[in-house]
Structure 1
Amino acid sequence: MSGDGGPPAVPGRCPAPEGPVDAASVTLDVDGELFTIRADEFGGTDYAWLNGPDPGYGFGVSPTPDLSLDEHVANIRDFLAQVDPVTGHLEDD
């Protein structure tokens, strides 16, 4: 959602969920990359990159009240566009 005043992505390792992944978690395939998305305790969303080079690496966006599926996909694509293909991380990491 960059450039439209949407919430900025914050890269880093997503904290492991406490207990089993619940029904509120969703797995998305975006251009062949798998992400689990789930609400965080601050009214935002955690995105964990499941098949990336560093399991658990991902990003968070906050606040994210009532994002559509298309908006989640756009957040993931924005993140992937910034990932260094050699390291699998954002350049700032």
Structure 2
Amino acid sequence: MKRMVVDGEHFDVIARAGEPGVYDFRWTSGPNEGYGFGSAGHGSDGMTDGELEDAIRNFLSQVDLNTGYIE
């Protein structure tokens, strides 16, 4: 597990066992416990830190600030 802070928001990033290049992101500073998303990189090499940060920023850009969820 990797802990990341992106634009002031905290995430736990977990590589899925048996699925190279696939990650689960848990938004630990968000308003809804256990909420997050999954993402996959291209190929089995995994995602770079920059790619992980981009995935998080993309997720955050879709979140409704009133509910804390993607609507």
Tell me if TM exceeds 0.5: yes
> Is 1:27 matched up with 2:27?
no
Q: Which aligned runs of 4 or more in structure 1 are off by greater than 3 angstroms?
A: none
Aligned-residue offset at 1:90 = 0.2
Q: Deviations over 1:1-51 (max 9, x none)?
A: xxxxxxxxxxxxxxxxxxxxxxxx010000110000011133310000001
Greater strand content: 2
- Structure 2 unaligned residues grouped into runs of 5+: none
CA positional deviation for 1:66: 2.2
- 1:21 paired residue number: none
Backbone CA RMSD of aligned residues: 1.2
Unaligned runs of 5+ in 1: 1-24
- Residue 85 of structure 1 is matched in structure 2 by 65
The aligned runs of 1:57-68 (5 Å cut-off) are 57-63=35-41, 65-68=45-48
TM-score (norm 1): 0.67
Q: Which has the higher contact order (CA 8 A, sep 6+)?
A: 1
Q: Which amino acid aligns with 1:49?
A: W
What number of residue pairs does the alignment pair up?
67
